[in-house]
Amino acid sequence: MEIFGIPLQAFMSQLMLGLVNGCFYAVLSLGLAVIFGMLNIINFAHGAMYMAGAFFAWMGLTYWGIGYWWSLLLVPLAVGLVGVIIERTMLQWLYQLDHLYGLLLTFGLALMIEGAFRYFYGASGLPYSIPEELGGAINLGFMFLPKYRAWVVAVSLVVCLATWFVIEKTRLGAYLRAATENPRLTQAFGINVPLMVMLTYGFGVALAGLAGVLAAPAYAVSPLMGSNLIIVVFAVVVIGGMGSIMGSIITGLSLGVIEGLTKVFYAEASSTVVFVIMVIVLMIRPAGLFGKEK
């Protein structure tokens, strides 16, 4: 069976691969959106945190024998803690300044973190095996679905939807939205906004750390893995609308799929299709598909 002249098997495999990439885009852009919405910081260090997540998982396994399942829990906590330290020691002084200062600081941090890992581990990728339980594939009849890819999609969707639910439907989320809109007044109501800001940044980068652990068995663990991805993720955030939670989730998943399908139909355009879409969206809706005009 063929779809538009492409064998179904090949079509579905690329679709699945696109969906997996889309999941990484969604989780990473979600973290960026949460951080930008709340802190007004364009966090260029996000890719470095994603890379650090993958490296922490690799180091845990290599040096201390900490397996994949424990890494899924511990690495986001460790990366989140690094984020909290960065927020307390550096970022908190920049909130009142132009976005550019935060962008420059986090860009510098990204270069430093990436440089440090490159110095110690080299630029070539390090292997991280898929956990035994998630090895192999399931035969769906029309395609073989690798279990690990299905796992990545499932975890990413649960994390994205849970984050959306907490922010949009709970009291804690109402505090976050209020503090995003008017932090001074929210504090005047007795809400500890500085603590919320710190934890939000920690949570945002913990999401990047989680994406890093999920990515470690899927791709090679490399110091460059973050910087390769972050430019696309920023395009996703811009298309979805800066600070929009649902926007980043839907746009991340959709663009991953679009990118995957472009590989099937016109492979030469697959690495640029996201940026072409970004240009078109910016011309039609400068605030992004789900963003609010200011």
Contact set with other proteins (CB under 8 A): 171, 174-175, 177-178, 180-182, 184-194
**Calpha distance 56→78 (Å, rounded):** 8
Tell me the CA distances in angstroms from 45 to 72, 102, 114, 156, 275, one per residue in order. 20, 10, 9, 21, 21
Helix (H) or strand (E) holding 164: helix 147-169
Q: Which is nearer to other proteins, 100 or 188 (CB)?
A: 188
User: In the complex with other proteins, which residue's Cβ is closer, 162 or 185?
Assistant: 185
Rounded to a whole number of angstroms, the minimum distance from the CB of residue 178 to other proteins is 5
Min CB(216)–other proteins separation in Å? 36
* Residue in 84, 286, 52 with CA at minimum distance from that of residue 198: 84
Block residue for tokens 């879409």: 277
Rounded alpha-carbon distances, angstroms, from residue 178 to 14, 30, 35, 267: 41, 18, 14, 44
- Nearest approach, Cβ of 182 to other proteins (angstroms)? 6
Closest separation in Å from C-beta 12 to other proteins: 40
User: Given the complex with other proteins, which of 1 and 195 has the nearer CB atom?
Assistant: 195
User: Based on CB atoms, which residue is closest to other proteins, 121 or 175?
Assistant: 175
